Amino acid sequence: AQSVAQPEDQVNVAEGNPLTVKCTYSVSGNPYLFWYVQYPNRGLQFLLKYITGDNLVKGSYGFEAEFNKSQTSFHLKKPSALVSDSALYFCAVRDMLAAGGFKTIFGAGTRLFVKA
Amino acid sequence: GAVVSQHPSRVICKSGTSVKIECRSLDFQATTMFWYRQFPKQSLMLMATSNEGSKATYEQGVEKDKFLINHASLTLSTLTVTSAHPEDSSFYICSASRGRGGELFFGEGSRLTVL
């Protein structure tokens, strides 16, 4: 079965510094990988995805992620963090089902705290 | 991006009553919608996959008779928590996808509190 792991419960970074939120995956076949962000008491918002193509994927709000097949990682990055980036971030993988459907498996989430 | 609307955002009910949560895709047709449950400071737990015109597919451990899902049209799926109890209190989130390889679009979530 497909799975993703987010090894850090929380990441702390100072405003203006680069940030990285880690994600590793375990899939059979080609991975469909996603990052989502959740603000308090809200639904999730899509940030970016990797399906195929360039390993460096650019997404919303200045975020990007690098797909690394050899390390089975898909870390989320941003060159300069903002206080408003403080939120809960989820890595996810698409699990294609034998019957033709699919479901999305989420990591445990990493809380990002950006200090002014 | 696509818009998914979820209603109500908050609901408080008495133990034993039933609560219905609606999820609508406003600007696209969603043949498949997903219902998740999220406990405080935890990840999303997939409860069921809602398929338009057919029965929902429930994840292991989720009670079908407890959490009734209806996907009557291409833009509306509903989750009914029947005979709610305090342990059903949670944050429920729906989502929809426009394609098999695409991202999910989420509703704003519904916080259910059962007294």
Residues of A in contact with B107 (CB under 8 A): 43
What does the pLDDT look like over B44-96, one tens digit per residue? 999 999 888 888 999 999 999 999 999 888 899 999 999 999 999 999 999 99
- CA of B34: which chain A residue's CA is closest? A103
Distance from CA of B9 to the nearest CA of A (A): 9
Dihedral Cα B109, A87, A4, A2, nearest 10 deg: 20
CB A43 within 8 A of CB A51: no
CB contact, 8 Å: B95 with chain A? yes
- Per-residue pLDDT at B1 exceeds 70: no
pLDDT value of residue B100: 62
Q: What is the CA radius of gyration of chain B?
A: 13
Q: With a CB-CB cutoff of 8 Å, which residues 29-88 of chain B face chain A?
A: 32, 34, 42-44, 46, 49, 51, 57
pLDDT for residue B99 is more than 70: no
Nearest CB neighbour to B106, from listed A43, A94, A105? A43
By C-alpha distance, the chain B residue nearest A90 is: B43
Q: Do A96 and B100 touch (CB under 8 A)?
A: yes
pLDDT in tens, A47-84: 999 998 899 999 999 999 999 999 999 999 999 999 99
Q: Cα torsion at A4, A10, A12, A13 (round to 10°)?
A: 20
